[in-house]
């Protein structure tokens, strides 16, 4: 992409990638208001997203992925993904008092929602549009580590389950899918799976993101009245300072100095520019987190990212030398 007009071009690329997500969220909210997607249906649909559709999406990403048979990518990219998620959650947890939260339930949700960045809905189309398929492949490998961090450290923080006591709560269908998928892929077993089975898994996996976003919209419709709390400004400002300023600085420094491939540097830069992930809204509802807290973090950081994401990509590209 030429340097002239780079910022303007990236801004519209990001806007084009983000707007469909917001539109689907809006559709979910509208369906709730119209009573076409009822609250009684949410529990069943959430179980489907977490226990069926998400594992299928993970398997589709892993099976037959040649990049995941490269030991370098297989080890480094997922480690970066896991480390950035775990580090982000721990940093947010250490700053929970600055957010004005005294309730442990809210503090845990704050740590998870602030520490986990949007690793799928926005960076995947951005990787395609800005860098191409090579970087997209590394992004998928990286996201294996993010998924592990999400369903282990993130889930343990959200539920409050100590590692030494209720560790079994981290054993869930998405994590099992990651482990099984990596084993099959390393053994070259994907070629022995019948085509109709792979096609079925792919079709089910394609339901995960749109249905998950629709359910986010229904949650926003149900909980939006809680967003305008007078005490929320400390939570919102702390979360956005961490997610959109402090953590991106650390990511960009990592991308510059880590001895990794150009593709992985680009992936780290993309993740540096991301707002808070939207999927923790679904997790919070399913695992008993505080939905009002996660809504405030996700909505405000996503809105602000329309400006900050192009800025970080532009500045990071220049400083890292990509």
**Angle, helix 291-320 to helix 262-272, in steps of 10 degrees:** 140
Report CA-CA distances (Å) from 276 to 24, 105, 193: 17, 19, 36
Tokens in use for 269? 């830069």
Q: What's the pLDDT score for residue 120? A: 76
Phi-psi group of 132: left, alpha or beta (phi > 0 → left; psi -120 to 50 → alpha; rest → beta): left
Instruction: Name the phi and psi angles at 273, rounded to 5.
Output: -90, 0
Q: What's the pLDDT score for residue 164? A: 46
**Which residues contact residue 128 at a Cβ distance below 8 angstroms, ignoring those fewer than 6 apart?**
136
| Rounded CA separation 205/185 (Å) | 17
**Which residues contact residue 1 at a Cβ distance below 8 angstroms, ignoring those fewer than 6 apart?**
9, 130
Q: What's the pLDDT score for residue 293? A: 87
Report CA-CA distances (Å) from 213 to 25, 162, 208, 216, 306: 6, 30, 8, 5, 18
Instruction: Please say whether the beta carbons of 264 and 80 come within 8 A.
Output: yes
Phi-psi group of 171: left, alpha or beta (phi > 0 → left; psi -120 to 50 → alpha; rest → beta): beta
> For domain 6-320, which architecture applies?
Up-down Bundle (1.20)
| Closest C-alpha to 34, from 23, 44, 26, 43 | 26
| Rounded CA separation 178/185 (Å) | 10
| Rounded CA separation 297/114 (Å) | 7
Q: What's the pLDDT score for residue 262? A: 85
Q: What's the pLDDT score for residue 2? A: 45
Q: What's the pLDDT score for residue 90? A: 93
| Rounded CA separation 81/61 (Å) | 15
Q: What's the pLDDT score for residue 1? A: 44
Indicate the domain borders of the chain.
6-320
Please give the DSSP secondary-structure letter assigned to residue 3: S
| Closest C-alpha to 122, from 194, 216, 213, 199 | 213
Per-residue pLDDT of the chain (322 residues; tens, 9 = 90+): 445 455 566 667 777 777 787 788 889 989 998 989 888 888 888 889 889 998 898 888 788 877 677 777 778 988 999 999 999 999 999 988 888 777 888 888 899 999 999 887 778 778 877 787 667 778 878 887 888 888 888 888 887 766 545 455 557 788 788 888 888 888 888 888 888 999 999 999 888 888 888 888 887 787 776 666 666 788 889 999 999 999 999 999 999 998 888 888 999 999 999 999 888 887 887 777 888 888 889 888 888 888 888 888 888 888 888 7
Q: What's the pLDDT score for residue 67? A: 67
Query: How far, in whole angstroms, is CA 265 from its chain's centroid?
Result: 18
């Amino acid at each position: 992409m030429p340097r002239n007009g780079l910022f303007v071009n990236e801004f519209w690329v990001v806007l084009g990638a983000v707007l469909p997500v917001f539109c689907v969220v809006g559709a979910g909210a509208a369906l709730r208001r119209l009573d076409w997607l009822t609250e009684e249906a949410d529990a069943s649909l959430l179980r489907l997203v977490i226990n069926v559709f998400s594992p299928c999406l993970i398997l589709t990403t892993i099976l037959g992925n040649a990049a995941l048979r490269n030991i370098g990518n297989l080890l480094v990219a997922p480690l970066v993904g896991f480390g950035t998620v775990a580090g982000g959650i721990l940093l947010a947890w250490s700053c929970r008092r600055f957010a004005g939260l005294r309730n442990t339930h809210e503090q845990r949700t704050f740590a998870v929602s602030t520490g986990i960045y949007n690793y799928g809905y926005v960076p995947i189309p951005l990787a395609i549009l800005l860098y191409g398929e090579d970087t997209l492949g590394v992004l998928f490998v990286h996201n294996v580590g993010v998924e592990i961090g999400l369903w282990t450290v993130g889930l343990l923080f959200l539920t409050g389950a100590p590692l030494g006591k209720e560790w079994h709560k981290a054993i869930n269908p998405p994590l099992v899918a990651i482990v099984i998928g990596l084993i099959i892929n390393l053994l070259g077993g994907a070629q022995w799976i019948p085509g109709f089975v792979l096609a079925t898994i792919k079709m089910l996996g394609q339901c995960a993101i749109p249905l998950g976003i629709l359910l986010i919209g229904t949650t926003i419709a149900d909980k939006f009245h809680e967003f305008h709390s007078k005490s929320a400004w400390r939570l919102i400002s702390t979360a956005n300072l961490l997610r959109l300023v402090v953590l991106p600085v650390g990511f960009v420094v990592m991308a510059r100095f880590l001895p990794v491939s150009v593709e992985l540097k680009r992936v780290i830069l993309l993740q540096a520019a991301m707002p808070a992930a939207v999927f923790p809204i679904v997790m919070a509802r399913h695992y008993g987190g505080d939905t009002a807290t996660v809504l405030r973090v996700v909505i405000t950081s996503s809105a602000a990212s329309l400006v900050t994401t192009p800025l970080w990509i532009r500045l990071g590209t220049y400083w890292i030398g990509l």
